[in-house]
Structure 1
Amino acid sequence: MTELTIAMPKGRIFMEACKILENAGFQLPDDMEETRKLMIAIPEENIRFILAKPMDVPVYVEHGVADIGIAGKDVLLEQQRTVHELLDLKISTCYIASAGLPNTTMNEVAPRIATKYPHIATKYYKEIGEQVEIIELNGSIELAPMIGLADRIVDIVSTGRTLKENGLVEYEHIADVSSRLIANPVSYRLKSVRIQEMVSRLRKCVQ
């Protein structure tokens, strides 16, 4: 059986992905979700996992150090990596939206958008004909409108609780997000039978 190397994101997506793999009949170690190892070999399944930060998964897959991976649609939209998107796993669902202080309009001269998704934000505002200045932040995006750094933020929304607690409201729904199974184009060609078999098994378990 051909060995598959799978890049998996750490955190909540990892736990949800493990459950869907187990539901598909893959034998995973009992302590899989608690491990601190960065590489896990499962000889019985001829699978090797690489555990990475969510933003790094598509990088590993694009460069071929992982044959396949599980990545959020937000990361795929932002990075535009050369990978094949094989299956929507419909886990870790959320969406990307713009938000700001209530009852405020964007500055007409040079509206500023704070985000950790500069590509997604630029593309969205270009498509609706708005010329904006993008301010790239890596965390606590909600602060930007509160301290006058930006007119709006573009960020992931799960329950909306964080926005509400910081006195912000949603303005525009930009894109739906869920976790996707992706493949390296060369691996997909050379290991197509094994990868397609995995896709088939996972597809039956997708809610």
Structure 2
Amino acid sequence: MKRDILTIAMPKGRIMEEAMEIWQKARLPIPFDLEDTRKLILTIEGEAVEWILAKPMDVPTYVEYGVADIGIVGKDVLMETEREVYELLDLKISPCRLSVAGLPQTINHEIVPRIASKYPRVAEKYFREQGKQVEVVQLHGSVELGPIIGLADRIVDIVSTGRTLKENGLVEMETIAHITTRLIANQVSYRMKQEKIKEIIERLSEVI
């Protein structure tokens, strides 16, 4: 943790684009080359702020361990990683839902032995709470393939418009949680750099 610099962990991709829009509306400083650079650590001239560009699943880890003071991350990632961080603010961007989906002919099947998901912890917990014992197969991409090729009976994945499911012959069966993007903080940083962090919270709250 750098005492005089506020370090922000930002996920690459769609969340970053939407987060930068509200960051600018809130009149908070951002690196001018954020979208074009291949650098992973960015600074802002004249500002005591540093940005770490990271994979979404890594953001809570960087924040928990204090290499980043605050971070921007989807609620789905927080649910899966279960890191010890403070959840400060719902930014209300990148809305979607974490859902169970499968082939239409399996809708009424009570026996669901195998689930494919990028969220194995969330999936296992959800089905355990339903009183169902399942085997969760972790995949890192194209989870929709699971039921199609016979690897899994159902999937647990993020659904936004539902177009990907439809194009692959799957249907959404149950919603586990509604997801938006959150501002999180390291627990020590929140105490040590409270003034800086609270200013960010206040400015963002005004434009959300």
Could you tell me which residue of structure 1 aligns to residue 136 of structure 2?
134
Could you tell me which residue of structure 1 aligns to residue 153 of structure 2?
151
Letter in 2 for 1:102: P
1:177–1:7 distance in 2 versus 1, CA, 3 Å:
same
Moved over 4 A (4+): none
The correspondence of residues 1-207 of structure 1 with structure 2, limited to 5 A, is 2-104=4-106, 105-106=108-109, 108=111, 111-206=113-208
Contact 2:7/2:51 (CA < 8 Å) preserved in 1? yes
Residue ranges of structure 2 left out of the alignment (5+ in a row): none
Letter in 2 for 1:37: K
String of CA shifts for 1:178-203, please: whole Å, max 9, x gaps: 11000000000111111111101111
Number of aligned residues: 205
How far has the Cα of 1:150 moved from its partner?
Answer: 1.0
Deviates more, 1:51-60 or 1:35-44: 35-44
Letter in 2 for 1:111: P
Distance 1:179 1:90 in 2: 6
Distance 1:107 1:149 in 2: 18
Letter in 2 for 1:94: C
How far has the Cα of 1:107 moved from its partner?
Answer: 5.9
Residue ranges of structure 1 left out of the alignment (5+ in a row): none
What is the aligned-residue RMSD (CA, Å)?
1.5
SS of the counterpart of 1:28?
coil
Distance 2:203 2:197 in 1: 10
User: TM-score, normalized by length of structure 1?
Assistant: 0.94
Letter in 1 for 2:59: V
Contact 1:27/1:44 (CA < 8 Å) preserved in 2? no
Letter in 1 for 2:179: V
Contact 1:95/1:156 (CA < 8 Å) preserved in 2? yes
Letter in 1 for 2:18: E
Letter in 1 for 2:69: D
